[in-house]
Structure 1
Amino acid sequence: MSQALHTPPPTATAPAESPAELAARYGLSVSGARPSLPEYVRQLWERRHFIAAFATAKLTAQYSQAKLGQIWQVMNPLLNAAVYYFIFGVLLGTKQGVPDYIPFLVTGVFVWTFTQSSIMSGTRAISGNLGLVRALHFPRAALPISFCLQQLQQLLFSMAALVLILFCVGVPVSASWLLAIPALVLQFTFNAGLSMIMARMGAKTPDIAQLMPFVLRTWMYVSGVMWSIDKLAKSSHMSHSVKVVLQVNPGAVYIDLMRFALIDSFHASQLPPHVWAAATGWALLVGVGGFIYFWKAEERYGRG
């Protein structure tokens, strides 16, 4: 007689947990995950001292190997202005009909250099600092913002030379000089936003840094750095749409605001309509939009 073997019924096994479920159960989070936008702003604010110190250190080290040292912070834009004065003011005659052409030109060169340098340094902010990005955890927007702050500090050094030029050509001190403060705040916001846009693009495509000098040179020539947009608009037969594009060009807007603030002979009639609204609009659009655009790729910076 055979003995029946009774095997226990198979027990149902629980499905294996996914890595995401295991991480959630044990309170783990993704390394380098993008924080929420308010949290990202809070982290940046907590590192404001680092941003300021990093900008100052970069500015100090910029000319540390030169014998004249920090004097080059003023000499470089002044030499550029001298070259532009000879080529455009003397050879091409753009100074004709422009009162106080020397401070007019120097102001344009200094303000434009602020925008140009902020964009160029922002383009390499991530791709040129991969060691720092990969070694430390911090909000990556600190890099383009600090580079933009470095260029603002450079501009303030240059403004000291501009004030001396204004005194030498007989431009009096005026209460309108205080308007330079909000103009610089708006321009800094615009520059920082554009710097962050270029930082994200440059992090993905480093070759953009080779293209930007040509783009910026073209932008400079249409921004009225060496010539008066107002004078050209009144004397030429260009279409109304072209005149409007030239006048609302953000590069020209911030230059005109600084000229209006500092140069007594540059009158309000030479400013484009609603210039302060245009300056504020560009600052908010590019500043806030650039910040959000950069934040959206936060967790991808420094990855292979």
Structure 2
Amino acid sequence: MTATGATDPAALAERYGLTKSSLRPPLGAYLRELWSRRKFVVSYGRARTYAMYAGARLGSLWQVLTPLLNASVYYLAFGVLLGTKNGIDNYVAFLLSGIFVFTYTQRCMTEGSRSLALNLSLIRTLHFPRATLPLAYVLNELNQMLVSMGLLLVIVGATDGFTWRWLLVVPALLLQTMFNIGMTLIFARIGTFISDISQLLPFITRTWLYASGIFFSLPAKLAQANAPEWVIVVLAFNPISAYIDIVRRSLLDEHEVNQLPYAWPIAIGWSVVVLVGGLVYFWRAEDRYGRG
């Protein structure tokens, strides 16, 4: 080897099989590396949950109080003042299930949009799959969702009693979690390069909130308005409406007569498409994260 070859970085890298750490790995290798960091995802997610309530006097009790207080405000504003509770049995459980499901996705999107921007020092210091950070945020929100669902099950059990259909809540939450992972990865990439998205998301999610049938039954309202069947089908393709519907029909007997059409197939389709699409979309910018 010549003297030039001995000191040429490119030649040395080729000789010893070295590659740039910033290069985007193939998708298969990326997924394997991501799986190998699963303990980090779990630990980071737990740390965020602890840090969220560490400074509060009531501590983690706020995990229960926060969704209850939010539901109380919506119950007063929509159920009582606007009368949306009329004609809906067990409106408290109906409302809580909608709020909990929507909030799960909303917070994943909002927190995910900031997940990389808030950890730039970590990204620039260590080499690891950047998707671990958004996934940790999803895990944090999943933990909150499980607490909320536990509270909802207690309320439904005390008012409507227990039923075998409760088991369907598990696949319903699994499908929504798949959807949320994809959405979090999408907004994590967008939020990294378009910082204004965090300012726009509250308006986007608020509009989505009112269009998802959280405070009232969409099929019942459309039936009262004599809306064509195709309108109901189109509105059923709203992913949040589908996830809310499959959770409600798993928990509430009376929701069987006012359910959206094709909710389960729509929920499955959104979960698979958004999860795969979000992962590929995020991975394609892997070598650009953290560059100032």
What interval of TM-score do these two structures reach, taking the shorter chain for normalisation?
Answer: over 0.9
Give the structure 1 partner of residue 271 of structure 2: 283
Q: Measure, in 2, the Cα distance between the counterparts of 1:246 and 1:226.
A: 15
Aligned length: 288
Distance 1:145 1:238 in 2: 40
Q: 1:109 aligns with which of 94, 99, 105?
A: 99
SS in 2 for 1:63: helix
- Unmatched tracts of structure 1, length 5 or more: 1-13
Q: What does 1:135-214 correspond to in 2, within 5 Å?
A: 135-168=125-158, 170-214=159-203
Which string of whole-angstrom CA distances, capped at 9 and with x for unpartnered residues, describes residues 229-248 of structure 1? 11112111445554323212
Deviation of 1:286 after TM superposition, in Å, equals 0.4
Specify the SS of the correspondent of 2:54.
coil
Counting aligned pairs with the same residue, the percent is 47
Question: Paired residue for 2:254?
Answer: 265
Q: 2:19 aligns with which of 29, 39, 44?
A: 29
SS in 2 for 1:266: helix
TM-score by length of 1: 0.90
- Deviations 1:245-284 (Å, cap 9, x if unpaired)? 32120011101111111122221x4322222111110001
The one-letter code sitting in structure 1 at the alignment partner of 2:255 is F
Whether the 8 Å CA contact 2:236–2:262 is kept in 1: the answer is no
Shift of 1:23: 4.0
**Counterpart Cα distance in 2 of 1:247 and 1:54:** 36
Partner of residue 43, structure 2: 53
CA distance in 2, matches of 1:23, 1:69: 52
CA RMSD of aligned residues (A): 1.9
Which consecutive unaligned segments of at least 5 residues does structure 2 have? none
Q: 2:262 aligns with which of 264, 274, 277?
A: 274
Which residue identity is paired with 1:280? Answer: I
Q: Provide the TM-score with structure 2 as the length reference.
A: 0.94
1:215 — aligned with what? Answer: 204
1:111 is displaced (CA, Å) by: 1.0
Tell me the distance in 1 between the aligned counterparts of 2:260 and 2:215: 17
The letter for the 1-side match of 2:131 is A
Q: What is the aligned partner in structure 1 of residue 290 from structure 2? A: 302
Within 5 Å, give how 1:86-97 maps onto structure 2: 86-97=76-87
